[in-house]
Amino acid sequence: MYNREMIKNEYLGRMIITICGILVIVLTLSIGVFLLVKGAGTFLIYKHSVWEFLFSSAWDPQDTSSGGGKVGALIYIAGSLLTCGLALLIAAPFSFAGAIFMTEIAPKTGLRLFRPAVEIFVGIPSVVYGWIGLTILVPFIKNLFNLPHGFTVLSASLVLAVMIFPTITTVSADAIRSVPQEYRDGAYALGMTRWEVIKGIVIPAAKGGIMTAIVLGLSRAFGEALAVAMVIGKTKAFPRSILSPTNTITTAIASDMGGAMEGGEYNTALWTMAILLYLLSLFFIYAIHKIANQTSEGNNKCRKTI
């Protein structure tokens, strides 16, 4: 016999939480299915090959349902990889320095001042970053390098770097903080200096968390459309250097989707790019899990040897 009190206390909460949990899983999967339905047409209806989509740079899909255009998305893929890679190169040193500073060097200032300051960055909407980029960074780059205009890969990477900096910093800081105090104490007891402890003990021990931070930052950079769109110039060509404009997957989807004919070749090709983004983010998540597993195994081995 279940009485009402028992149902209310025990089963109701469990039921709500189970339903919410299942709903999230269903939602994720159905987004994938939806993208597949919308985007598979590039290959099934318009008969393009996966090879052409990934490795050709001839992008000229027709905005009609009769097809016959070209759907090589290599310019967009390369543009995304290049801007995000560069953003990571710019952001990573600052992020690691920041993370080490706020955990090892000045934990008190770090906790009271640095961390809140970094966290404010996360809350700023991307359109604000984009607008600052457009009105300040773009003219600045133009004047600095004496270019005809300042819409460059470098501008986009700098904006992205500022946007992923807080993610990488906070996640790496958490990883560093979770390194057991005994590791440090042991190393100090052996006569290591503070810098040697940071370099030789703390960072290697937090490696897994730091890698996770990088992957998280990278996936955030990959998904950003708005801020990048405002500063990259959206030229349909490979960048000749980091000082020339190009285009990325997300900005192309965001700017071209609205005007494209529903179900037309152009529209479908854009959905196929969305599938690619979905697969990439799945890959990133897989990578994070892989790294996390390896590290926990490594740490266990380490503990056993000790």
Count of residues of this chain found to bind other proteins when the rule CB under 8 A is applied: 31
Q: DSSP string spanning 106-141?
A: -HHHIIIIIHHHHHHHHHS-HHHHHHHIIIIIHHHH
69 vs 98, beta carbon nearer other proteins: 69
Paired strand residues for 59: 71
| Strands 70-71, 59-60: pairing kind | antiparallel
Contact between 20 and other proteins per CB under 8 A: no
Rounded to the nearest angstrom, the gap between the alpha carbon of residue 238 and the centroid of all alpha carbons in its chain is 22
Nearest to 46 by CA among 293, 287, 272, 248: 272
In the complex, minimum distance from the CB of residue 142 to other proteins, in angstroms, rounded to a whole number: 8
3-state secondary structure of 263: coil
- The Cα–Cα gap between 68 and 135 comes to 40
Residue from 47, 112, 149, 240 in contact with other proteins (CB under 8 A): 149
Contact between 241 and other proteins per CB under 8 A: no
Residue ranges in 31-90 that form contacts with other proteins under rule CB under 8 A: 63, 65
Contact between 159 and other proteins per CB under 8 A: no
Instruction: Single out the segment in contact with other proteins by CB under 8 A; choices: 5-13, 44-52, 137-145, 167-175.
Output: 137-145
C-alpha distances out from residue 82 to 77, 123, 186, 209, Å: 9, 26, 42, 24
Contacts for 78 with CB less than 8 Å, ≥ 6 apart = 238, 246
Contact between 227 and other proteins per CB under 8 A: no
Instruction: Single out the segment in contact with other proteins by CB under 8 A; choices: 1-9, 77-85, 147-155, 291-299.
Output: 147-155
63 vs 182, beta carbon nearer other proteins: 63
155 vs 157, beta carbon nearer other proteins: 155
Give the chain's largest Cα–Cα span.
Answer: 82
Paired strand residues for 70: 60
Residue from 264, 265, 276, 291 in contact with other proteins (CB under 8 A): 264
Residue from 234, 250, 280, 291 in contact with other proteins (CB under 8 A): 234
Contact between 177 and other proteins per CB under 8 A: no
Residues that bind other proteins (CB under 8 A): 63, 65, 134-135, 138-139, 142, 148-149, 151, 229-230, 233-237, 245, 247, 254-262, 264, 266-267
